[in-house]
Amino acid sequence: MADIVENDAAKPLLNAGGEPLKLSDLLDSGWKIYEEVAETNEPLASSDIQGRVRMGLRMLEEASRMVAQLDLFSRNEELEEIATTDLKYMQLPALLGALTLKQTGVDRRPEIIQAAKTYFVDFLRRCKEYDVAPFQMPKPTSENKHQDSASQNGLAARPPSHCSSDLVAMAAQRQAKIERYRQQKRLESQLSDVRKAVDRGQADEEVMRSFYLLNIQRWITVCLEEIESIAQELEILKNMDGLKRGGGGAKQKPQNRPPMKPFILTKDAMQAQVFGAGYPSLATMTVDEWYDQHKKRGVLPDQGVAQKMPHQEESERGDEKDTENDNDDDASVQKARDWDDWKDTHQRGYGNRHNMG
């Protein structure tokens, strides 16, 4: 890559010898900067990286102006009529769009992605005119807005046929995305093989032409993917802008509210009565009152053996009944066992000889 001297933005870029850079040098240098920025591990928002991005954009923009002045591409000619050395300049809009997306700045983000989309669409339109590869141009923004407004009318008002057509369109879009991904991987594999010959300097004109065409076809898939991502990002930015505008009003002052009363952590008042209020209960009687109450019942320790309470007597009677029932159960169990033993040693009808003659 030729040494480049940074100068005023309005002046042409110069090399170390003070001469303007050639078209091929501008493209190669801008392309190299893009690859370095795309592969770097440094933060994209760093001043060094953003400075290189701006420098690369200046080079590619200058190269685009020179291509327009030289009128290298015309709608009246076919792809085969373009010189091999000129094919690589078809990638300029795609490189400009990709490097434009490397710019940072939250406030400038809508402007950045719109500019990148313009570059991508210009590149795809040129490839479509020359029939470089079979692909479908992305729909204009106006059609997308029309479809979005139609979809916002509600699914209930739309006949089932429209819903099924939307599902078919979504399935077709997904299949096209998968096919683009496969095609991009296939092109990258072919490019890696051809690039080896180009880097070794053993590529003839046919190999170089194949190398440039493969690069252009790969950029087609990249641009289609980037345009879809840009559409989604624009929608997100629009929603964020709406949220900011909606929340930009003056904040209301907090109203003076009366102090909150203590509350019981139970579902209702009945549960509070049964299970308690959730904290220690308050005292209901004094110690003297408690002593007098237990003295009347005769259950105090200093009154000797405590008298049996009615419920204690009932409990003892119940225990006696349980003991009697247990004894009855033992007798019935023994009787059943004796009967089983007797049936084992005596046949059915034993001793019943009445009226047998």
Q: What pLDDT, in 10s, does the model give residues 287-298?
A: 888 888 888 887
Q: What pLDDT, in 10s, does the model give residues 246-285?
A: 665 455 555 676 666 555 444 555 555 555 555 555 567 7
CB 13 within 8 A of CB 19: no
DSSP 8-state secondary structure symbol assigned to residue 20: B
pLDDT class for 77, splitting at 50, 70, 90? confident
Which run of H or E residues covers position 15?
Answer: strand 14-15
Q: How far apart are CA 9 and CA 11, in angstroms?
A: 6
CB 300 within 8 A of CB 294: yes
Q: What pLDDT, in 10s, does the model give residues 96-141?
A: 999 999 999 888 999 999 999 999 999 999 999 999 988 888 887 6
Q: Kindly tell me if the per-residue pLDDT of 94 is higher than 50.
A: yes
The predicted structure's pLDDT at residue 149: 44
Q: How far is CA 116 from CA 20, 49, 195, 235, in A?
A: 27, 18, 27, 16
Going 129 to 132 to 135 to 137, the CA torsion angle's sign is negative
How much of the chain exceeds pLDDT 90, in percent? 31
User: Against a cut of 0.85, is the pTM above it?
Assistant: no
The predicted structure's pLDDT at residue 166: 73
CB 90 within 8 A of CB 122: no
- What's the mean pLDDT in 309-320? 60
Q: Collapsing DSSP states into helix, strand and coil, what is residue 189? A: helix
pLDDT class for 2, splitting at 50, 70, 90? very low
Position with higher pLDDT, 142 vs 194: 194
Q: How far apart are CA 75 and CA 344, in angstroms?
A: 115
- What's the mean pLDDT in 219-228? 92
Q: How many H helices and E strands in the chain? A: 11, 2
